Amino acid sequence: MSFKVVNFNVRNKNESSTQIQILKALFSCGREKEDFLTSIKKYIYICSEQYLKTHAQEQWPQPIIFYQPYEVEQILLPDNANCLAVQAYLKMCGLEFQIEPRSNAEYMSPSGRVPFIQCGAFLVAEFDPIVAFISSKGTSLSEQLSQTDKADMRAYMSLVNNVLVNIEQYICWVDQTTLNSATKPRHGSVYPWPLNHVINWQKQNQVTKRLKVLGWYNKTLDEIYKEAENCCTALAERLEGKSFFSGEEPTELDALVYGHVHAITSTHFLPSTRGIINIVRSFPQLLEHARLINNRYFNCNPNLIIEDLDILKCMSDDSIWNSSRSLESLPSLTEDSF
């Protein structure tokens, strides 16, 4: 807390009233040999209150630019999920941002993963660091939660990151039908021949290596479905009866779950991966949750997900994933809304 006070001093030099109070407290504690913290405790509350007030209203000094791969031709399921999650989080925080698609976003990113945001001189990549960065600027959605709730939220977030992300990676890079008919053409689409094969091969090696280390590589598709079902069950149970995971206001967990659920349900994959979509769809709580976030923050068609279901039903089982189809559903989410 004392750190925040110092911070405040530096930031708002023109607003001297609280500063003077703190200085008084400092002087008095020196004189009366009281404990420093106890003497200024009463002022700290005022300070942090004012700090939050001024900073929440304050326009962010630099615009946020959001970098991601091309949504239409290039992006893959795991990246799409992460991009949607970060977009949802930024929207929940009420921050304006500008989407900048780049074919080499993955290589530009300081951590090698997408998405990343540029805010002034700062470049922050991936969901967790972005959340931390934004909260360091004074905007946080989980501030009011109790310690146990925070710990719970962290646990569920790591569940999503460890299970859903791996499932998505598995589907994209290990499942042969998806790999050959969707992942490779999409991932290599921005590079000329023969470079696309080199890049796909590199990425495939990288992902399979990671999945092998985590013990996911040797799983069968059925085991993957089982994992997905367990994860979704846990999330749905947590959500039971509430509109958001921690009550009436969204937190970062909501953004993350929204990103994954929406990415999975709104892409049309091959029959072999239809299973995963159907599993997610079998949890109405999650769909409702995603729909709510969609409505509230992305201002788009409330029936989108249900429409998607219809489209999916219309598609014959052996139809190959048609990227032009998926384009319609994905950009409609994002382009119309900003």
Closest separation in Å from C-beta 170 to other proteins: 25
| Residue 110 Cβ vs other proteins, minimum distance, rounded to whole Å | 7
**What is the rounded CA–CA span in Å between residue 321 and residue 294?**
24
Could you tell me which stretch among 53-61, 89-97, 194-202, 279-287 binds other proteins (CB under 8 A)?
194-202
Instruction: Write the interaction track for other proteins spanning residues 105-144; mark x where CB under 8 A is met and - where it is not.
Output: -xxx-x-------x----x---------------------
Alpha-carbon gap, residue 236 to 33, rounded angstroms: 55
284: contact with other proteins by CB under 8 A: no
Q: Which residues pair with 247 in a beta bridge?
A: 244
**Does position 192 bind other proteins by CB under 8 A?**
yes
Taking the C-alpha atoms of residue 309 and residue 304, their distance in angstroms, rounded to an integer, is 9
For residue 85, which amino acid is it? A
Alpha-carbon distance of 80 to 334, in angstroms, equals 12
Q: H or E segment at 123?
A: strand 122-125
Query: Rounded to the nearest whole angstrom, what is the least distance from the CB of residue 113 to other proteins in the complex?
Result: 13
CB of 168: closest distance to other proteins in angstroms?
A: 23
Task: Evaluate whether 175 touches 223 at the Cβ level (below 8 Å).
Answer: no
Applying CB under 8 A, the span of 42-50, 102-110, 137-145, 304-312 interacting with other proteins comes to 102-110
Least distance in angstroms from the C-beta of 93 to other proteins: 23
Supply the DSSP string of 24-72, one letter for each residue.
HHHHHHHHHT--HHHHHHHHHHHHHHHHHHHHHHSPPSS-EEEEE--TT
**Structure-token match 């846990």, residue found:** 234
Alpha helices in the chain (DSSP H): 2-11, 17-32, 36-57, 77-92, 105-108, 127-136, 147-159, 165-173, 176-178, 184-187, 195-214, 221-239, 252-265, 271-281, 284-298, 304-314, 323-334
Binds other proteins by CB under 8 A, chosen from 11, 55, 102, 325: 102
**According to the binding rule CB under 8 A, does residue 30 interact with other proteins?**
no
Please identify which residue in 191, 221, 236, 315 interacts with other proteins, judged by CB under 8 A: 191
Among 3, 32, 147, 193, binds other proteins (CB under 8 A): 193
Per CB under 8 A, 201 contacts other proteins: no
Query: Smallest distance from the beta carbon of 116 to other proteins, in angstroms?
Result: 10
Q: Which of 23, 72, 179, 199 is close enough to bind other proteins by CB under 8 A?
A: 199
Segment contacting other proteins (CB under 8 A): 89-97, 193-201, 296-304, 330-338?
Answer: 193-201
Least distance (Å) from other proteins to the CB of residue 211? Answer: 23
Place of tokens 């470079």: 195
Q: Is 198 in the site for other proteins (CB under 8 A)?
A: yes
Residues in a beta bridge with 64:
97, 119
- Total binding residues toward other proteins, as defined by CB under 8 A: 16
Q: Which residues contact other proteins (rule: CB under 8 A)?
A: 102-104, 106-108, 110, 118, 123, 191-195, 198-199
